[in-house]
Structure 1
Amino acid sequence: MRVALVHFPKTGGTSLHDFLVDKFPPKAVCPERIRSFERFTREELQQFDYFSAHMDFARLSLLPGPLYTITVLREPKARILSLYYFWRAHSWRIIEARNLTGPRRAKELGLLEFLKHRSDGIPSDVDNYYARSLLGRHWSGPRGEIVVSDEDALRLAMRNLLTIDTIGFTEDMAGLFQQVTRRLGVEMPAEMPWARSSKNQVNLPDMEAVEREQITPEIDAQLNKLTRLDRVIYENAKRMFVQQSFV
């Protein structure tokens, strides 16, 4: 079975990837982990049975089928906060060595200033990320802004989301693993893996402990603005997931 994991950052997708990748021979695993599937020919892509990347819906459409597709959603405001503190925890050494723009801005800026930052590609990672990813690049402007109305964006994003076979949630990773292992006919892991958990993050090389800021009304208002579409997508998907789980 050919499998594609549509990995939204800071949702627990790395844990699922690390579990799934061992189920395939190394030569059957596509090495692309970001989104640049255009660098492969159609014939080269057909040699792979497992794809896992921070891809949008347009890139997913490039992959040869038939595919069993999986994604993981997390409460949108929690996802943004997790991304910010993950980036902020990077050491200056690794930021400078790898020229990491997102971590550099998170290191330099307080939470509110970071959320308001409108350059360096940051909006593409935090501003209604689910909606833009599900719409695909054809519906985004040069800075990642959505170029259709909120109503149309939600309609198109939900339509595309519901073409994905298994939609899981960070808040119920055990349930997601049960769905995926049942579909693939493999055993559940003896212990749930958490590859990038904040509990062990400070033990990773070039990662530092960070203090979390209090969520002020102004910060919360900015988070609400940046997730106005994603929260609708998340809640709709969650309702549908619960309904389907009882069918």
Structure 2
Amino acid sequence: MVKTGTEAPIVFLHIPKTAGQTIHSELSRAVGRKAVSPVRVHTQGGPGAAQFPPGYRLYSGHIDWEALETLPSSRFVFTVLRDPLERIASFYFFLRRKAERLSAQDLARPARTGMRMVLENSPDDYFFGGTPQWRRFIDDHHHSPYCSYLVTRRLRGHSQVADWPRQDLVARAVEAARGLDGVYAVDRLDVLERDLQERLGLQLNVTGRFVNADPASRDVSQWARLEPMLERDESRMRLRRFALADQMLMFQLGLGPRPQPAG
């Protein structure tokens, strides 16, 4: 356990496929790896305060944050957002790359369900087929995940807000986002670097660096790759609807363009 003294705890609410590995690596280097909480994924800790074990400077990962207020009020809490359609596509291709490297035995493990589904199904059936349990996985990871995470404080909280009118969900998400110390866009990480330097005295180098990114596709739109792979127009329209609330959120936060109607 690490004594942090008067240093403000840092909480990075890492939504998957938003340059988070790069940011986590730099934060870990800056504060020292012994000061990093071992809870990197919400399933590694229990509910509530167990997501924030005491004695660490950095809490960073795919964590639930319902018990955020158990940390000192001096904490610095932030998240990073990315164009929602780009994120949907990036997550899809990331799972495919990982799945293609695994043996059939590894793919058969329950923990590899997402990779098995992405490899064995067409894009249309990956996103819109499968069992009710699989559909919940897709909704949690792809249907308005920014808004859901901000409002419910849970990574897999979509079911709690699934029936909300879109405008209400976005309004609540904007309110929650403005309660954080920072919400940043993945294409403007220089702003995050500046804030961490000015507010915490930490020097990070994250702009233009992407851990876990596909080197062959860094300058290519991931959505432009995925969209023509979808065989059904309805699938394209449904994914655009998945992204719309998060696009509205980013626009209202000044982090993205005004969204186009999704139909």
TM-score bracket, shorter-length normalisation: 0.7 to 0.9
Q: Distance in 1 between matches of 2:251 and 2:183?
A: 12
Q: Which residue is equivalent to 1:74?
A: 82
Q: What's the counterpart of residue 214 of structure 1? A: 228
Does structure 1 retain, via aligned residues, the 8 Å contact 2:145–2:158? no
For structure 1, list consecutive stretches of 5 or more residues without a partner in the other structure. Answer: 202-210, 241-247
The residue aligned with 1:155 is: 171
Q: Which moved more, 1:91-100 or 1:159-168?
A: 91-100
Q: Does structure 1 retain, via aligned residues, the 8 Å contact 2:28–2:36?
A: yes
Q: Equivalent residue of 1:52, what SS?
A: strand
Indicate how the Cα distance of structure 1 residues 78 and 143 shifts in structure 2: closer, same or farther if over 3 A, else same.
same
Q: Is the 8 A contact 2:14 2:62 kept in 1?
A: yes
In the TM superposition, residue 61 of structure 1 has moved relative to its aligned partner by: 4.5
In the alignment, structure 1 residue 92 sits paired with structure 2 residue 102: yes
Distance 2:24 2:56 in 1: 15
Superposed CA RMSD = 3.1
What SS does the corresponding residue of 1:167 show, helix, strand or coil? Answer: strand
User: 1:191 and 1:149 mapped to 2: Cα distance?
Assistant: 36
Farther off after superposition, 50-59 or 163-172: 50-59
1:26 maps to which residue? 33
Higher relative contact order (CA 8 A, sep 6+): 1
Question: Within 5 Å, which residues of 2 pair with 1:165-180?
Answer: 165-180=181-196
Q: Residue 114 of structure 2 is aligned with which of 96, 102, 124? A: 102
Structure 2 residue corresponding to 1:115, chosen from 120, 123, 127: 127
Distance 1:198 1:63, change over 3 A: farther
8 Å CA contact 1:111–1:213 kept in 2: the answer is no
Q: Does 1:38 align with 2:52?
A: no
CA distance 1:191–1:129, change in 2 (3 Å): closer
Displacement of 1:122 after TM fit? 2.3
Other-structure match for 1:204: none
Larger mean CA deviation between 127-136 and 23-32 belongs to 23-32
Work out the CA distance in 1 between the residues paired with 2:157 and 2:148: 10
How far apart are 1:143 and its partner, in Å? 4.8
Structure 1 pair 108/143, CA: closer, same or farther in 2 (3 Å)? farther
What one-letter code is carried by the residue in structure 2 that aligns with 1:195?
V
Partners in 1 of 2:187 and 2:16 — Cα distance? 15
Of the three residues 49, 66, 82, the one matched with 2:57 is 49
Q: Distance in 2 between matches of 1:191 and 1:147?
A: 37
Cα separation, 2, equivalents of 1:190 and 1:229: 27
* 1:186 paired to 2:202: yes
Bigger mean CA offset, 224-233 vs 19-28: 19-28
User: What is the aligned length?
Assistant: 229
1:53 maps to a residue whose letter is G
Aligned residue in 2 for 1:199: 215
Q: Are 2:15 and 2:62, in contact at CA under 8 Å, matched by a contact in 1?
A: yes
Using the alignment, how far apart are the partners of 1:64 and 1:219 within structure 2? 45
Structure 2: gaps of 5 or more residues: 1-7, 218-224, 257-263
Give the Å deviation of 1:55: 2.7
Instruction: Name which of structure 1's ranges 187-196 and 152-161 shifts more when overlaid on structure 2.
Output: 187-196
